[in-house]
Amino acid sequence: MNDVAWIAVDWGTSHLRAWLMRFDGRVVEQRQSDSGMADLTPDGFEPALQALCADVLPRPVLACGMVGSKQGWAEAPYAEVPCMPFNISLVVTAVTEQPTLSVRILSGIKQSNPADVMRGEETQIAGYLSVNPEFDGVICLPGTHTKWVHVSAGEIVSFRTAMTGELFGLLSTQSVLRHSMGKGWDASAFLDSVDTAISRPESLAAELFSLRAKNLLNELDNDAARSRLSGLLIGAELASMRPYWLGQKVAIIGVHNLSQAYEAALIVQRVPVVTAFAEDMTVSGLVAAYSHIYGDRV
């Protein structure tokens, strides 16, 4: 491990991901654990990091995500939009028991009106802009809480968050609809429901219950029901986010299957779309931030 210069960390609510990095920005090794922020007390972060990376510590650590929240290791303040994706002056240093250990945490981003916040997604945006410096448009980051972000001249101008992924999780596992959910995918059913929700977003609550009724009475199979639930929720999200994608070019940063769903929904609306893998953009963003903070050319 002599070629490891520093450690890039994405510390979310449910997972800890670390990349052992060379000075030139290349990944030597990736590691991860289930020691997410939600399962840790403030004094549990350093032991969790030690458990994952003890053999390469105390090399410098640069972290993003919920590790910088109020419930995290050290609270990193929010930068206010419009702003660059990361602000060196707002980086905080975590207090550590091991005196030689240096852990620095990137700030999040906030918006006062309408009120909104992000932690972690700004690093993916920084990563995307580091490899697409001329990009001007909207970045969509699908997930539990999907972000729609207007980017111009290298700055985050505004953003909105939709709890679409969390709603899907709750409805598909904890509501009456759980009895109708399959595990497969029906692309036609998904797109049909996207269209329904975009055209008539006010009918969402009724359309949701109709999934159960159609499953019972009209032989709607469980895979189609699951796809229609996703389509209704994403369609309603697109209806509410219309100012962000209408007449814009959109870059989607996410995991493969979810990005594909958003891409398909937007293409039907004749929106030009490009995609990027979330993990790659996180690493690229941490590399860009490391270069600015430490002054190393990577």
Kindly state the average pLDDT of the residues 125-131: 97
pLDDT at res. 83: 97
Reported as a single tens digit per residue, the pLDDT across 29-53 is 999 999 999 899 989 999 999 999 9
Domain boundaries, the chain: 1-110, 120-281
> For residue 2, what pLDDT band results from cuts at 50, 70 and 90?
confident
- The top-level CATH class assigned to 120-281 is alpha beta
Reported as a single tens digit per residue, the pLDDT across 201-241 is 999 999 999 999 999 999 899 999 999 999 999 999 999 99
Rg value, the chain, Cα: 21
Q: Which two tokens stand for residue 195?
A: 């269209």
Among the listed residues 75, 57, 107, the one whose alpha carbon sits nearest the alpha carbon of residue 292: 107
Is the CB of residue 15 less than 8 Å from the CB of residue 32? Answer: yes
Kindly state the average pLDDT of the residues 258-280: 97
Separation of first and last alpha carbons in the chain: 18
Matching fold, domains 1-110 and 120-281: yes
CA distance 244 to 158: 10
Q: How large a percentage of the chain has pLDDT more than 90? A: 94
DSSP single-letter state for residue 83: B
| CB-neighbour burial class of residue 203 (10 A; exposed 0-12, middle 13-18, buried 19+) | middle
Place of tokens 């008539």: 200
3-class DSSP state of 64: strand
Cis-peptide into 85, omega within 30 deg: no
Q: Is the pLDDT of residue 298 over 70?
A: no
Note the CATH number of domain 1-110: 3.30.420.300
pLDDT at res. 1: 73
For the chain, give the number of residues: 298
Cβ neighbours, 10 Å, residue 43: 10
pLDDT at res. 42: 87
Q: What is the mean pLDDT of the chain?
A: 96
Backbone angles phi, psi at 132, to 5 degrees: -135, 65
Q: Is the pLDDT of residue 296 over 60?
A: no
pTM as predicted: 0.94
- The CA angle 200-201-204, to the nearest 5 degrees, is 105
Reported as a single tens digit per residue, the pLDDT across 129-188 is 999 999 999 999 999 999 999 999 999 999 999 999 999 999 999 999 999 999 999 999
